[in-house]
Amino acid sequence: MTKHLSICIIGFILISCSNEKEIPKNLHLPTFNQDKKIQNSQMDTINTEQFWSLIDKAVKSSSGDKELKEKFLVNELTKLSLEEIMDFEMAFRKSILEADDFKVMAAQKIIEGYVSDDSYLYFRCWLIGQGKQVYQETLKNSDYLAHVVQKGESTDFESLLYVATAAYSRKTGKDEDETFPRDTAIGLGLDYDFGAAATKGTDWSEDELPKLLPNLWAKMN
């Protein structure tokens, strides 16, 4: 009797453990590999020609004033179709992701003296807001920024993150929801926060910065 009872107890425990480990069929788990494939595919097909044309026009019309750049872009985007506004957001996110490089981060560290997740994102927005040539040259060699940035200059352009949203809201007369450019882009894998790929290049330590970007270091120190 005791032996039979022990077997029953062991069987009950095994069944309970099995049930605890079972994953419900309707549970939505993260699909990171799938997201990366979507992101890579989307990145390859985005046309950035109109995006950079608008950015460069904003640079020329603003004399370096970030608020004027922002207003110019919102006004110009509002003249476009909803699809074109969506394309702008896609190209913008592609540019942010392409600029995610340890040498770009090193440039921010030298210029601003610190790096955080948010400040690094806003710095890349600032870099995009300098126009296509500055952006491309910096991605080739971040020391190029020694010819661009001035000591004490603000290199934070957070508001660039929201110009497509503002234009889309004006066109539709709606508040932002899941149909707007930002959520749509994230759904396609263009996420510069939690879904972003690893930062490109080689990490650095602070004592390496003077040799890593010598011209920028000399100008800022």
- The model's confidence at residue 159, banded by pLDDT at 50, 70 and 90, is very high
| Across 137-153, average pLDDT | 97
Q: Dihedral, CA atoms, 86, 169, 62, 89, nearest 10 degrees?
A: -20
Residues ≥6 apart with Cβ < 8 Å to 107: 138, 142, 143, 145, 213, 216
Q: 108: exposed, middle or buried (C-beta count within 10 Å: 0-12, 13-18, 19+)?
A: buried
The mean predicted confidence, pLDDT, of the chain is 84
| Across 123-134, average pLDDT | 98
pLDDT of amino acid 210:
98
Record the tokens describing residue 39, joined without a space.
Answer: 């992101």
Q: Dihedral, CA atoms, 6, 9, 13, 18, nearest 10 degrees?
A: 100
